[in-house]
Amino acid sequence: MLDRTLFTSDHEMFRDSVRKFLENEVVPFHDAWEEQGYVDREVWRKAGAQGLLCPTMPEQYGGSGVDKLYSVVLMEEVARVNATGLGFGLHSEIVAPYILHYGSEEQKTKLLPKLASGELIGAIAMSEPAAGSDLQGVKTTAIRRDDHYLLNGSKTFITNGWHADVVITVAKTNPSAGAKGTSLLLVERGMPGFEKGKRLKKVGLKAQDTSELFFNDVKVPIENLLGNENEGFIYLMQELPWERLQIAISAIESAQAAIDWTVDYTRDRKVFGTTVASYQNTRFKLAEMQTEVQIGRVFVDHCIALLVEKRLDTSTASMAKYWCSDLQCKVIDECVQLHGGYGYMWEYPIARAYADARVQRIYGGTNEIMKEVITRSMGLPATK
């Protein structure tokens, strides 16, 4: 396979430390976390102590001030061991950057160091029962009342929602203005009227706490407005390319892990007196999958390089998200087939990866929405 040129020796040293942390603090406990439906909060504090949360955050706010490639290393290593219960990526690479980029100095000083240490856990609440990929369809409202906003509505499918101490909440501060009336509010644990619903039972990602959130006349102080009023939709659009590239990064690493597990399995498993790997169909399938994953990795690495240079655009990130998540599901499905009946058994990592992968084509904007974004960049008319 081609050598990757993105990473320095420092990045690879960091990769080794991440790998050791996952092997010692995550992998042995992941089965139990799947049974209980959430990871233990202690793993967040341990990750923070190791510098694995918010690593790119400036040192003045508790981070290490390193480049985005360290975040990429973290995502790849988590995906490699299929530690899908960890909500570190969303916490460190979506929630914290919103606060860093759009927050007041008071908000940054108050929240970012505690997010970096794992003392606080962050979430972002966009999706609603009737508004998923269509953020313009958000119904949650936040109406100004003197020194606070009165927040009402509900959210669903919220990653880290059950553990969350601070939730970036998408709401309409001017409901009559559509997308132009959208704002972001920092809702904190303990605010009266802010309630967490049940942890949702999902087909996959069973160790990742995903919950409903309810806002019933929550008084959110004016100082908890993130950025400027009615500019929330603009902020969301600015951050989406990185969010979507993160999905592509994990998709490619997950697909590679599936191939690696399958190579090992087919070398050992015998059918009709010979190993499964001895059959031409097996070898050719693996060769095809490895080729496609290598192609995907080259494209994703190019997107990462664009990101580092601050040149990654929404259309290119959408291409990476849709194509790589489609490829992930295709590869894992083929690998399940090569495992035979054991590929459908939960104790095998390929079965868990099969269940966990499917949502990649849905969150971060469905792959159908990705194609709409791409066509608009091509000058094609929008769907009516």
CATH of 123-229, one of 1.10.645.10, 2.60.40.10, 2.60.40.420, 2.40.110.10: 2.40.110.10
Q: Is 9-120 assigned to CATH 1.10.540.10?
A: yes
Whether pLDDT at 136 is above 80: no
211 SS3 class:
strand
* Residues with Cβ within 8 Å of residue 28, at least 6 apart in sequence: none
What pLDDT, on the 0 to 100 scale, is given for residue 3? 84
Point out the residues that are catalytic: 243
Average confidence (pLDDT) over 151-169: 95
CATH of 234-377, one of 1.20.1250.20, 3.40.47.10, 1.20.140.10, 3.50.50.60: 1.20.140.10
Q: Chain-wide mean pLDDT for the chain?
A: 95
- For residues 363 and 321, the model is more confident at 321
C-alpha 86/C-alpha 78 separation (Å) is: 8
Q: What residue segments make up the domains of the chain, in order of their start?
A: 9-120, 123-229, 234-377
* 223 C-beta neighbours (distance < 10 Å), count: 12
Q: What is the DSSP letter of 81?
A: T
pTM equals 0.94
Nearest to residue 325, comparing CAs of 368, 284, 262, 286?
368
pLDDT in tens, 50-73: 999 999 999 999 999 999 999 999
What pLDDT, on the 0 to 100 scale, is given for residue 133? 60
**What does each C-alpha distance from 90 to 115, 118, 273, 279 come to in angstroms?**
12, 13, 47, 42
Whether pLDDT at 82 is above 90: yes
Average confidence (pLDDT) over 208-216: 95
What pLDDT, on the 0 to 100 scale, is given for residue 382? 75
Nearest to residue 208, comparing CAs of 23, 24, 39?
39
Nearest to residue 239, comparing CAs of 135, 88, 325?
135
Q: For the chain, give the percent of residues with pLDDT over 70.
A: 98
